[in-house]
Amino acid sequence: MTRSPGNRATTDAVVRWMDTGAGRTDPEPTALAPITPAKRRLHAAWRESAQSRIVDLDVEIDCLIEQLRSEMSAAQRRIDAGDHLVECRGRGQIRWGRKGVHLSEDPPVGSRSLA
């Protein structure tokens, strides 16, 4: 039992050996047979079904692209709304009240502000 080293030189040698035709039994792999037109109804139905499925998948891809765009715009709207809240809250003052800490634009007279 021999083990091949698996290096690039060995692989290249095998490819060259196969290209010379020593290991090839078929005439030429690039000479493919031409595609024959449908001769039976089943073949034509299969081809029509495959083409229909390709069109359906194309429509699904288009819908996914539109959905991703709307999700991205919704995410951008949420980021903009959060940014707006951060900007607005920076101007208010925090005050202590009976029920805890409150954020207000102008605190009542006599209250302690933390801003």
Sequence-separated (6 or more) residues with CB below 8 Å from residue 101: 94, 95, 114
Tell me how many domains the chain contains: 1
Do residues 105 and 93 lie in contact, with contact meaning Cβ atoms separated by under 8 Å? yes
Does some domain include residue 64? yes
Does some domain include residue 24? no
Do residues 95 and 84 lie in contact, with contact meaning Cβ atoms separated by under 8 Å? no
Does some domain include residue 5? no
Does some domain include residue 44? yes
- Give the C-alpha distances (Å, rounded to integers) separating 1 from 4, 11, 17, 40, 76: 10, 19, 22, 52, 64
Does some domain include residue 74? yes
Does some domain include residue 1? no
Does some domain include residue 18? no
Q: Residue 1: what pLDDT? A: 43
Condensed to tens digits (0 to 9), the pLDDT of residues 96-111 reads 666 766 666 554 555 5
Do residues 38 and 47 lie in contact, with contact meaning Cβ atoms separated by under 8 Å? yes
- Show the domain range for 66: 40-88
Q: Residue 42: what pLDDT? A: 72
pTM: 0.32
